[in-house]
Amino acid sequence: DGTPLADLIDLERHEVSLRLLTDPEVFRLELDRLFSRVWTVLAHETEIPNAFDYVARDIGLDPVIVTRSRDGSINVVHNVCSHRGMQVCRAEAGNEKQFKCPYHGWSFNEQGRFMGSPVARENMHGEFRAKEELALKKARVQTYAGFVFATWDQEAPPLEEYLGEIKFYLDLMFDRTESGLEVLGPPQRFVIPANWKCPGEQHAGDGYHAMTLHRSINELGGSESDDSSMYGIDVSANGHGLRLIDRRKGKWKNNREAVLKAQTLPPFEKLRTIMLPPGLTPEMAEELKDKLTEDQIRVLADYPPSVGGLFPNMGTFCFEFPTPMGMAAIISWHSFVPKGPDEFEFVNWFLVEKDAPQEFKDLMRRAATLGLGTTGFVETDDADTWPMMTEASKGFMGRRGTIKYGALTGEDQPLTGYWDKGEFPGGGHLYPGFTKDDSQWNWWLRWRDFMLGEPWGPDAHH
């Protein structure tokens, strides 16, 4: 309606126009200015362990194939035939040396190179372009902890820089042992009739909702919604957000004596005494000492990370969950792939340490399905909420409404009472105390940078 995009986020009042959720024009701009540029996760490399394995995924609305070459390298190629635009790969996953387009039969190798057509090209009047011109487009690919990220943007900074200071904390969940993680089967995928930003901004920092929306989990004895997930330090960097849990509060209060007794121990001994990170046996935990820095272990011992979000459309989980067989760990990574202004696909990877014993893996699979699966306890709560937010943004009044991010701790608060051992070893903006809106507000500021076309500038480090 002519309102400049920049005016739909009120920097003074910390409010965001509800219409940003589903306006079709905004969605079109997101494809062109955001999903064309960000690094986003498409797969975990253990999904395609062998040469010529592949999975079909999407970057924004663009279908892509994630493939592995004979030399082990990973490619992401546009799954759109250079002839007339048919998808050359119609399966979800498999092993192929060549993809043959089902429309007229052109073939492409796993790197997207044009390999031939059913009729000699000389006989195809006019189709004399160089083979290179007929190749499928390739995205830039980099990996972190086995996760395959891709971007179309040649100017995007390297993935490590894109992750920035949040990587220090991600390592504590996803890159903490020599052998690393593997997937517990293919990711669960389901479509939710909601805008992708509902889960996107939520995962950046909304610990607040767990105490109400996920209350049933607490009543079942779970960890997600008791106050252990409410207090700690919210970390925010480059639009990414992560909550560090204060181990002295919440469910650890039942273990108070051990926690207090452990305070004088060296970091790793303290970690081992109080509670190992989810998903590790005592033997595997020894590997932490080789893989993580002393500073990382110090943070892990007192403020383990749990739930977080990577800008713009990824979520991370690492926590214990109650099952009929007892507490079990869930390690999960989500991607919220846009399908339109009011629909996204939830792609949900469950992971486990490669070196874990088989019964440990089986238990984690059960826990993941019970907790975060399509019929589980957690995401099903959210899957009711996000569509209602989305619908609200379409009405006459809804389009004129705003969503509020006024519960801000503010920049660079001292960690008084939360870290009393000199300077906090982790980076990023740190917001101590009860979880608030800072990380989510920073997420919107980062979104704004992309939408105004200035994502890689010097001021883009929220």
**Residue ranges in contact with ligand FES by CB under 6 A:** 81, 83-84, 86, 101, 103-106
Cβ atoms of 243 and 234 closer than 8 Å: yes
Nearest distance, CB of residue 104 and ligand FES, angstroms = 3
Residue with Cβ nearer ligand FES (88 or 237): 88
- Whose Cβ is closer to ligand FES: residue 130's or residue 397's? 130
**Shortest gap between Cβ of 103 and ligand FES (angstroms)?**
4
335: which strand partners? 314, 347
The distance of closest approach from Cβ of residue 68 to ligand FES in the complex, given in angstroms and rounded to an integer, is 23
Q: What is the dihedral of CA 92, 49, 279, 429, to 10 degrees?
A: -80
**CA distances to 5, 282, 459 from 15, in Å:** 13, 46, 21
CB-wise, 107 or 369, nearer to ligand FES? 107
CB closer to ligand FES, 13 vs 84: 84
- Residue 142: other Cβ atoms inside 10 A: 16
Between 77 and 331, name the residue whose CB sits nearer to ligand FES: 77
In the complex with ligand FES, the residue whose CB is nearer, 84 or 404, is 84
Integer Rg of the chain from CA: 23
Minimum separation from the CB atom of position 197 to ligand FES (A): 34
Q: Using the minimum distance from each CB to ligand FES, give the nearer residue, 87 or 255.
A: 87
